[in-house]
């Protein structure tokens, strides 16, 4: 009953905030909900105990009672990634295969080290000293672009299909590499034994990422076969829900990457399952069902992100450091896009505007906060959580609201024509 009560309250709050945003702010829905939640959180922090102490105490307990890492990584993200995979066209992804692979792997590794060393050498200048391993932990958790934030913004940014596939594909697939790096560096930082040899890292990456992808394809194939001769939308919806909820349990038990399992399963079913491809009542219901799930989960997730401010201690002490880290993360994003693009220059040409969109469209979101909150409590965890929150809020609000202006589709098209003429 307590879980039902808490979730019901979150749905009501998300609905109220979305209505306020729709009537007054008119921001993209997820950003609007998060901004309102942050404003409400600030009001409660500064005035809540004097104006409405019972409500303030109740909301603090409600948010504190949720394990954000478990709720996001163990539940919500599975639905969101499966929905994202369903709507990603496999033919578009094939055309952008190498950019997606390079940005989701090499780019994440580069970003991790650029951010880690940048934080290690620059933050002491403002009186904050964090050990190198914990700086690399921060670099790993902040490097993956968040698929939830990216997909939600790209829908309204009016970018070209090629560019959308690059950004969306990277955000869907880079979690596996980032989580492996994060796990290795965090274990080293807290003193746990871990195999840091090249063979050990490759084995872990193959198990987490490779195992997740293979499991996702297997689940997608089995579900597609089961739905082949079924023209019943209720049963079809139940099959897809079973893939998401049961698939995560299987991935978790084998220590595979849950996010990659969901992406692969959604991608397979969305492109190879005739029930999704053909125009039918079943297909129509399935698409609308997962669009609705996507919107509801997004609303609750960004509400969570806004209210997480209530649980962050001493945020004021790290605001300046957070501003510095925003610059470091943006610089790292430039480097992590520039180097892979140069490596691929013979195969893929990137126009200046495309590069700008890839850099500015690399939004950070709930995944980074969830990983930061999973760090065991110690003398450095509060600093990392606070700085992560600053980077994520800036990324979603500032970058999210301005990516549409950066992503000028006419300019990108003109530059692509010039590139073809040049070639």
The two tokens of residue 156 are 């309204």
Counting the structural domains of the chain, the total is 1
Long-range contacts for 7-15 (Cβ within 8 Å, ≥24 apart)?
Answer: 9/62, 10/300, 10/303, 10/304, 11/296, 11/300, 13/37, 13/303, 14/299, 14/300, 14/303, 15/299
Closest by CA to 304, choosing from 260, 355, 356, 366, is 366
Sign of torsion, CA 91 287 19 63?
negative
Q: Which of 99-108, 169-178, 400-409 comes out lowest in average pLDDT?
A: 400-409
Q: Which pLDDT score, from 0 to 100, does residue 132 have? A: 95
Q: Which pLDDT score, from 0 to 100, does residue 366 have? A: 87
For the cut 50, the answer to whether the pLDDT of residue 420 exceeds it is no
pLDDT tens digits, one per residue of 305-323: 999 898 887 788 899 999 9
Q: What CA–CA distance (Å, rounded) separates 209 from 261?
A: 8
Q: Which of 242-251, 258-267, 360-369, 413-422 comes out lowest in average pLDDT?
A: 413-422
Q: What CA–CA distance (Å, rounded) separates 89 from 164?
A: 11
pLDDT tens digits, one per residue of 323-380: 999 999 999 999 999 999 988 877 777 888 889 989 998 899 888 999 999 999 999 9
390 near 323, Cβ under 8 Å?
yes
Residues 6+ apart with CB under 8 A from 279: none
Q: Which pLDDT score, from 0 to 100, does residue 409 have? A: 57
Closest by CA to 366, choosing from 152, 146, 155, 151, is 146
Q: Which pLDDT score, from 0 to 100, does residue 207 have? A: 86
Could you give the 3-state DSSP secondary structure of residue 321?
A: helix
Q: What CA–CA distance (Å, rounded) separates 51 from 54?
A: 9
Confidence of residue 197 (pLDDT cuts 50, 70, 90): confident
Q: What CA–CA distance (Å, rounded) separates 115 from 329?
A: 6
Q: What CA–CA distance (Å, rounded) separates 342 from 69?
A: 36
For the cut 70, the answer to whether the pLDDT of residue 192 exceeds it is yes
Q: What CA–CA distance (Å, rounded) separates 5 from 16?
A: 17
Residues 301-322, buried b or exposed e (16+ Cβ, 10 A)? bbbbbbbbbbebeebeebeebb
The two tokens of residue 40 are 């409400």
Confidence of residue 39 (pLDDT cuts 50, 70, 90): very high
Q: What CA–CA distance (Å, rounded) separates 290 from 222?
A: 19
Q: What CA–CA distance (Å, rounded) separates 176 from 206?
A: 10
Segment 247-269 mean pLDDT: 91
* Percent of the chain's residues with pLDDT above 70: 91
Could you give the 3-state DSSP secondary structure of residue 159?
A: coil
Confidence of residue 418 (pLDDT cuts 50, 70, 90): very low
Sign of torsion, CA 93 106 421 356?
positive
Segment 407-422 mean pLDDT: 52
For the cut 90, the answer to whether the pLDDT of residue 303 exceeds it is yes
CA distances (Å), origin 35, targets 267, 375, 421 = 32, 26, 45
Confidence of residue 156 (pLDDT cuts 50, 70, 90): low
- Cα end-to-end distance, the chain, whole Å: 64
Say which CATH number the domain at 264 has.
Answer: 1.20.1530.20
Q: Which pLDDT score, from 0 to 100, does residue 339 have? A: 94
Q: Which pLDDT score, from 0 to 100, does residue 417 have? A: 46
Closest by CA to 255, choosing from 324, 185, 176, 153, is 176
Q: Which pLDDT score, from 0 to 100, does residue 421 have? A: 42
Q: pTM (2 decimals)? A: 0.89
Q: Which pLDDT score, from 0 to 100, does residue 130 have? A: 95
Segment 80-108 mean pLDDT: 89
Q: Which pLDDT score, from 0 to 100, does residue 422 have? A: 42
- Mean pLDDT rounded to a whole number for the chain: 86
**What's the domain range around 341?**
5-422
Closest by CA to 136, choosing from 121, 122, 115, is 115
Closest by CA to 159, choosing from 147, 167, 171, is 167
pLDDT tens digits, one per residue of 51-62: 888 888 888 888
For the cut 90, the answer to whether the pLDDT of residue 16 exceeds it is yes
Q: Which pLDDT score, from 0 to 100, does residue 91 have? A: 86
Q: How many CA atoms lie within 13 A of 36 on its CB side?
A: 25
Provide Rg for the chain, Cα atoms: 21
Who wins on pLDDT, 204 or 14? 14
Confidence of residue 386 (pLDDT cuts 50, 70, 90): very high
Segment 134-154 mean pLDDT: 84
Confidence of residue 403 (pLDDT cuts 50, 70, 90): confident
78 near 245, Cβ under 8 Å?
yes
Closest by CA to 35, choosing from 390, 329, 396, 366, is 396
Q: How many CA atoms lie within 13 A of 50 on its CB side?
A: 4
The two tokens of residue 75 are 């539940």
């Amino acid at each position: 009953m307590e879980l039902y009560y808490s979730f019901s309250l979150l749905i009501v709050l998300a609905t109220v905030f979305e209505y306020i945003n729709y009537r007054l702010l008119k921001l993209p829905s997820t950003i609007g909900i998060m901004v309102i939640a942050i404003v409400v959180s600030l009001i409660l922090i500064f005035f809540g105990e004097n104006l409405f102490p019972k409500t303030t105490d109740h909301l603090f307990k409600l948010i504190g009672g949720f394990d954000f890492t478990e709720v996001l990584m163990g539940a919500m993200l599975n639905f969101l990634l499966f929905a994202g995979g369903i709507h990603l066209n496999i033919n578009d992804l094939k055309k952008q295969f190498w950019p997606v692979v390079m940005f989701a792997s090499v780019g994440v590794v580069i970003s991790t080290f650029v951010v880690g060393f940048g934080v290690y050498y620059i933050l002491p200048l403002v009186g904050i000293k964090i050990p190198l391993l914990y700086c690399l932990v921060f670099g790993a958790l902040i490097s993956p672009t968040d698929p939830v934030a990216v997909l939600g913004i790209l829908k309204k940014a009016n970018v070209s299909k090629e560019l959308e596939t690059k950004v969306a594909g990277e955000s869907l697939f880079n979690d596996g590499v980032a989580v492996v790096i994060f796990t290795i560096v965090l274990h080293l930082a807290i003193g746990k034994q871990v195999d840091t040899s090249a063979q050990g890292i490759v084995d872990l990456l193959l198990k987490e990422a490779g195992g997740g992808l293979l499991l996702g394809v297997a689940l997608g194939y089995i579900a597609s076969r089961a739905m082949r001769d079924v023209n019943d939308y209720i049963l079809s919806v139940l099959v897809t829900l079973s893939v998401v909820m049961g698939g995560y349990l299987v991935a978790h038990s084998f220590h595979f990457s849950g996010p990659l399992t969901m992406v692969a399963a959604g991608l397979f079913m969305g492109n190879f399952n005739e029930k999704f491809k053909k125009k039918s009542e079943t297909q129509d219901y399935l698409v609308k069902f997962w669009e609705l799930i996507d919107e509801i989960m997004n609303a609750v997730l960004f509400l969570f992100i806004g209210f997480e401010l209530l649980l962050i201690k001493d945020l004021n002490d790290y605001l300046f450091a957070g501003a510095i880290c925003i610059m470091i993360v943006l610089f790292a994003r430039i480097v992590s896009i520039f180097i892979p693009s140069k490596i691929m220059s013979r195969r893929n040409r990137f126009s200046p505007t495309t590069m700008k969109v890839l850099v500015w469209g690399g939004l950070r979101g709930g995944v980074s906060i969830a990983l930061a909150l999973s760090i065991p409590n110690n003398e450095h965890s509060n600093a990392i959580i606070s700085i992560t929150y600053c980077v994520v809020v800036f990324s979603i609000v500032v970058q999210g609201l301005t990516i549409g202006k950066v992503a000028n589709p006419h300019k990108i098209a003109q530059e692509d024509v010039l590139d073809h003429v040049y070639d």
